[in-house]
Amino acid sequence: MLPDFRNGSVAIHKMKHYFHLQFLITNRKIKETGINPILAYLLGLVAFLLITAYLFQKTEFAKYIVVLTCLGLLSKLSESNRTDFLITTFGDRVKNKIRILENGMVSIPFVTVMIYQNALLEAALLWVIAIVFAVFSYKTNVNFTLPTPFSKRPFEFLVGFRKTFYLFPMAYLLTVIAVQVGNFNLGIFSMLLIFGTVLSYYPKPEQAYYVWVHAHTPKKFLLYKIVTATQYTSILVAPVLVGLLVFYPNEFHIVLLFFLIGLLFVWTIILAKYSAYPNEISLPEGMLLAFSVYFPPMLLVMIPFFYKKSIYKLKMLLDDQD
Amino acid sequence: MIKINGLHKTYGNNEVLTDINLAFSKGHVYGIVGENGAGKTTLFRCIAGLESYTGSIISDLNPLKNHLGLLLTDPFFFSKMTGKEYIRLLCNARGKTNIHIEEKNIFNLPLDQYASTYSTGMKKKLAITAILLQENAYFIFDEPFNGVDIQSNIILTEIILKLKELNKIVLISSHIFSTLSDTCDEIHLLRKGAQIKSVQKSAFKDLEQEMKAFTIGNSIEKLDLK
């Protein structure tokens, strides 16, 4: 062990420096979107409180949505490359302290909301998982390749599925429970869980090379992405869709409506991604997307809007002539 | 044929490429040499259409980028994608869907493993395999020999000579002069973004000596090694 690992004050100094740096990086990212960081933090907090309040008002599964959302964020922080960097830079002990603090900070809003909503058991459980996640980070770079049905047309579903594969058995199990206990809403929730997972495959822009390499026009490129996403999303949603159609035949129109709206969201996120390319989706556009969750007809305006912007952005890397 | 006329590239007020005029013919291999920061990679990125520039780049096949196999110095790989899936992604992008990838695995790569777990040399070999399978007419190899083992360097040299035989246009940058003298018909020297000189095969030895003299100068003496 290096001497500084035994020296508490040095460790605290290192951690302070690390968190200060993270704070600066976060602020820079926010500033890049054109928004004042303080305003963004305030808006984020207000949006978080409004969304969670709305969820708890609308569905009895809100606590599970909150837990899953929080776990999703925590798993991002546990990525092996990140953990390796922390270990090699700070050593094991400081890394553990940093990770516990990070997970604690991310979980606090979620745990607080659940305590406020009287979901005490779930809040406690989430808190414990957050701490365990921090200390026992897992190594994902093992020599095991998870097979997927998506290898014909890489890359979003291939990579995304391998990162989130554990959510699909959970979603399918929820559908089975929904059928067993006769809870249609739970079945719809399981479908939304899959759509939500698929949507998470898209917001991050890929390196320019992976767009440039396509011998397509921007229009064909977007069509290729949308067709692939539609087919692959349908594969993932199919067990839930079929289950609900078979066991809730009277509700078929609602099931199909949710499926179609889900697909529209997938198309929208693809178009939103390339409309901002090579940057990430900006905060105002993200807010437009969030608003359309409350008011899905907005998608009919947003899809052409993002499509037009995407074509313009992609012309920088793709040839526009057939 | 690829023709570059009066190419300039600036980042803000900083001009990184100045009045580049080059012509590349079918069935020829060209080396682009220069120190770090001389503008080699930027020139490649301009040819590929990954950077904006002033001046013109014309080619017999259009759009040029759709016929170009581009090997970047440090290729990026997604974290959960196997070697085979990477090749498929690059081939799909060029409409090549019926490729027997295993048969074409000349570097014996573990194609079913995640590419992100490969060593630096293996990653480079994977990227080279993928752009070869795209069946391009033009190739840009930016530092193809870096990090690759000797055996694979020999294979790569043979591949480049085969591409030449197949009437392709190949542009290579390398910091290892011998790899260029083995493969290139002509070498263009860049310095601080400007095109200094072009040298035919017969004069490669002189160029190497000149580069050595310019680069080393009396810098070793300055170290006063003891």
Q: Is the peptide bond before A278 cis (omega within 30 degrees of 0)?
A: yes
* B164 close to B27: Cβ distance less than 8 angstroms: yes
Question: Is pLDDT larger for residue A319 or for residue A248?
Answer: A248
d(C-alpha B165, C-alpha B168), whole Å: 7
Q: What pLDDT is attached to residue B167?
A: 96
Model confidence at A3, pLDDT cuts 50, 70, 90, reads: very low
Where does A156-250 have alpha helices with state H? Answer: 156-164, 167-181, 184-199, 208-212, 218-247
Model confidence at A175, pLDDT cuts 50, 70, 90, reads: very high
Q: What pLDDT is attached to residue A34?
A: 77
Instruction: Verify whether the Cβ–Cβ distance A154 to B88 is below 8 Å.
Output: yes
Q: What is the pLDDT of residues A11-36, one digit of tens each?
A: 788 888 899 999 999 999 888 777 88
B20 backbone dihedrals φ, ψ, rounded to 5°: -85, 125
Q: The tokens 């095991």 sit on which residue?
A: A144
Q: Which two tokens stand for residue A15?
A: 């951690």
The answer to pTM > 0.80 is no
d(C-alpha A315, C-alpha A292), whole Å: 27
CB < 8 Å & 24+ apart, contacts of B183-186? B183/B29, B183/B31, B183/B157, B184/B29, B184/B30, B184/B31, B185/B28, B185/B29, B185/B30, B186/B28, B186/B30, B186/B31
- The shortest CB-CB distance from A155 to any of B81, B94, B117 is to B81
* A48 close to A178: Cβ distance less than 8 angstroms: no
Choose among A262, A214, A233: nearest CA to A150.
A233
Model confidence at A229, pLDDT cuts 50, 70, 90, reads: very high
Q: What pLDDT is attached to residue A211?
A: 96
Question: What would the mean pLDDT of A303-310 be, rounded to a whole number?
Answer: 95
* A243 close to A179: Cβ distance less than 8 angstroms: yes
A140 pLDDT above the threshold of 60: no
Instruction: Verify whether the Cβ–Cβ distance B63 to A319 is below 8 Å.
Output: yes
Q: Label the pairing between strands B68-71 and B2-11.
A: unpaired
Question: Is pLDDT larger for residue A264 or for residue B36?
Answer: A264
Model confidence at A2, pLDDT cuts 50, 70, 90, reads: very low
Model confidence at A81, pLDDT cuts 50, 70, 90, reads: confident
Contacts of A26 (CB under 8 A, 6+ apart): A37
3-state secondary structure chain B: CEEEEEEEEEECCEEEEEEEEEEECCCEEEEEECCCCCCHHHHHHHHHCCCCCEEEEEECCCCHHHHEEEECCCCCCCCCCEHHHHHHHHHHCCCCCCCCCHHHCCCCCCCCCEHHHCCHHHHHHHHHHHHHHCCCCEEEEECCCCCCCHHHHHHHHHHHHHHHHCCCEEEEECCCHHHHHHHCCEEEEEECCEEEEEEEHHHHHHHHHHHHHHHHCCHHHHHCCC
Longest dimension (CA), chain B: 61
A322 pLDDT above the threshold of 70: no
Q: What pLDDT is attached to residue B171?
A: 97
A238 pLDDT above the threshold of 80: yes
Q: What is the ipTM, given to two decimal places?
A: 0.89
Which of chain A's residues have a Cβ under 8 Å away from the Cβ of B80?
Answer: 146, 158-159, 162-163
Question: Is pLDDT larger for residue A65 or for residue B191?
Answer: B191
* B123 close to B95: Cβ distance less than 8 angstroms: no
Instruction: Verify whether the Cβ–Cβ distance A215 to B76 is below 8 Å.
Output: no
A252 pLDDT above the threshold of 60: yes
Instruction: Verify whether the Cβ–Cβ distance B94 to A209 is below 8 Å.
Output: no
Q: Which two tokens stand for residue A28?
A: 């820079």
Q: Which residues pair with B69 in a beta bridge?
A: B139
Q: What is the pLDDT of residues A115-136, one digit of tens each?
A: 999 989 989 999 998 888 887 6
Which of chain A's residues have a Cβ under 8 Å away from the Cβ of B89?
Answer: 154-155, 210
CB contact, 8 Å: A136 with chain B? no
Contacts of B142 (CB under 8 A, 6+ apart): B40, B41, B44, B70, B71, B72, B73, B173
pLDDT above 70 coverage of chain A, percent: 94
Model confidence at A7, pLDDT cuts 50, 70, 90, reads: low
Q: What is the pLDDT of residues A205-228, one digit of tens each?
A: 999 999 999 999 999 999 999 999
Nearest chain B residue to A212 by CA distance is: B50
* A126 close to A111: Cβ distance less than 8 angstroms: yes
Q: What is the pLDDT of residues A178-202, one digit of tens each?
A: 999 999 998 999 999 999 999 999 9
Instruction: Verify whether the Cβ–Cβ distance B81 to A159 is below 8 Å.
Output: yes
Which of chain B's residues have a Cβ under 8 Å away from the Cβ of A216?
Answer: 93
B9 backbone dihedrals φ, ψ, rounded to 5°: -140, 130
CA distance A225 to chain B (A): 11
* B16 close to B51: Cβ distance less than 8 angstroms: no
B58 backbone dihedrals φ, ψ, rounded to 5°: -120, 155
Q: What pLDDT is attached to residue A143?
A: 65
Low-confidence stretches of chain B (pLDDT < 50) are: none
pLDDT above 90 coverage of chain A, percent: 55
Nearest chain A residue to B82 by CA distance is: A145
- The shortest CB-CB distance from B93 to any of A152, A158, A215 is to A215
Model confidence at A1, pLDDT cuts 50, 70, 90, reads: very low
Q: What pLDDT is attached to residue A137?
A: 60
Model confidence at A76, pLDDT cuts 50, 70, 90, reads: confident
A82 pLDDT above the threshold of 90: no
The span from the first CA to the last CA of chain B, in angstroms, equals 53
CA distance B22 to chain A (A): 23
d(C-alpha A144, C-alpha B25), whole Å: 46
Choose among B162, B99, B104: nearest CA to B129.
B104
CA distance B184 to chain A (A): 26
